[in-house]
Amino acid sequence: MGNLIEKGKEWAQKIPEFSSQTYVIVAYVISALVTIAALFLVYEAVTTDALFFGANWNMFKSPLGNFCWIIGFFWAMLWWGKFTHWSATPIIEKRDRYTDQVLERKENMDITEQMFAKMLMPIIGHFVIEPIMYGAIIYYPIQCIIAIVGGIFPYVLSIIVLAICGAFWVFGPKAKFRYRSLALVAAGLLFAGAFGWGAYAIISSDNQIETFVEDNIQPADSEAASYTSEEPIVEEPVSEDNEEEQIGGDDNEGLLGSLAEGTTIYVGEMAGFPIEFTITKEDGSIKAVYKNVKYSTTMQLIGESLPAAGGNISFMGKDPQHNSWTFELKGNAEEITGTAMGDNKELPVTLHKK
């Protein structure tokens, strides 16, 4: 044993030491290396979900919840009789059919009521409800701690890692003890390797999760494609008669065709209420603003004219109460008639140019 100690001392004497100036330079280089690895780890820890973990608030789907229920069971046995209300007396009441006043109140002697109140309920209370209650008293404080720790763990880890980097920068160049060169290089390589490995492990775990998702979760479109027939799709030729209907309606037809480009204001009535209807047609789109003159309520409406509508326009929107309304309008640029449908109502509309 003594020989081993002596050989160790001789080996230690052979370890080279940096000069003071060289040691300071090496200390800063090692500190920079550790800092680079640390920043890499901090970035991966904070920007990914690998180190975040949350609580399982469903006690009945957690292995820890089952364990807490077992503890709660023995807790309930220890506190047997703490809750005496599990046993009850079934009551039957006789009431007046007109005044609903209680005329007679007595114990219900029905055998099923007696068994439920005095036998089944105590069993359920003592052996099911109380163990769950005591288990929850243990389980949910633990989950609260897990939720807090899981949310801040990456940030706490980042603070610790950055503190280690700061220690290298502050204390590394100022070390005065023997074998400081060996300690500096060994500690630097150790922490730089640990930080780099930690960052690599986080990246690898993310890649494994992505690979698992890609391999096991089939996209909806690919699943639908697997059921698609492989028969070629034959496009039917479009005849000249219905070519216009396939492409779209004629913008020169009906109300749509008679409206001039720009904004036109109409006034009129809807079920006797005075209204103002402002229609704007521009760049192939059409919209309108409905206003109830009496109550000053307004609606923003979007219009469309289907090919089969013959130039008639359907305006759709929602009132301030979020009821959907549809205005089916026809006519020309001077006189417009139609129907407003919404809020389970169907109201006539008449408009003329202002």
Q: What is the pLDDT of residues 77-132, one digit of tens each?
A: 887 766 666 777 788 888 877 778 888 888 888 888 888 888 888 888 888 888 89
For residue 229, what pLDDT is reported?
43
Distances (CA, A) of 134 to 55, 75, 131: 19, 7, 5
For residue 84, what pLDDT is reported?
62
Domain match, 268 and 188 both: no
For residue 8, what pLDDT is reported?
66
Domain match, 24 and 156 both: yes
Which of 178, 207, 236 is a domain's end point? 207
> Would you say residue 2 lies in a domain?
no
Which of 177, 207, 237 is a domain's end point? 207
The Cα–Cα gap between 188 and 143 comes to: 38
> Would you say residue 213 lies in a domain?
no
pLDDT above 80 (res 352): yes
The Cα–Cα gap between 276 and 298 comes to: 9
> Would you say residue 3 lies in a domain?
no
Return the ∠ at Cα 270 (arms to 264 and 274), rounded to 5°: 70
Domain match, 269 and 203 both: no
3-state secondary structure of 235: coil
Domain match, 193 and 307 both: no
> Would you say residue 225 lies in a domain?
no
CATH of residue 326's domain is 2.40.128
- Return the top range by mean pLDDT from 47-56, 104-113, 146-155, 161-170: 161-170
pLDDT digits (tens, 9 = 90+) for 245-264: 433 445 556 788 888 888 88
- Find residue 336's DSSP bridge partners: 331, 351
pLDDT digits (tens, 9 = 90+) for 286-344: 899 998 887 777 888 988 876 666 778 889 988 877 788 899 988 888 899 999 998 78
Domain match, 53 and 196 both: yes
Q: How confident is the model at residue 167 (pLDDT cuts 50, 70, 90)?
A: very high
Domain match, 192 and 279 both: no
- Average pLDDT, rounded, for the chain: 80
For residue 86, what pLDDT is reported?
72
> Would you say residue 272 lies in a domain?
yes
Domain match, 68 and 134 both: yes
Domain match, 144 and 272 both: no
Domain match, 153 and 267 both: no
> Would you say residue 216 lies in a domain?
no
- Provide the whole-model pTM: 0.44
The Cα–Cα gap between 327 and 317 comes to: 9
Domain extent at residue 286: 251-353
The Cα–Cα gap between 36 and 52 comes to: 23
Instruction: Say how many C-beta atoms besides its own lie within 10 A of residue 201's C-beta.
Output: 13
For residue 1, what pLDDT is reported?
60
Domain match, 163 and 82 both: yes
Handedness of CA 219, 224, 227, 231 (dihedral sign): negative
> Would you say residue 222 lies in a domain?
no
Nearest alpha carbon to residue 189 among 31, 25, 3:
31
Instruction: Say how many C-beta atoms besides its own lie within 10 A of residue 120's C-beta.
Output: 13
Number of domains in the chain: 2
Domain match, 151 and 25 both: yes
Average pLDDT over residues 129-150: 90
Domain match, 260 and 180 both: no
> Would you say residue 280 lies in a domain?
yes
Q: How confident is the model at residue 69 (pLDDT cuts 50, 70, 90)?
A: confident
For residue 226, what pLDDT is reported?
45
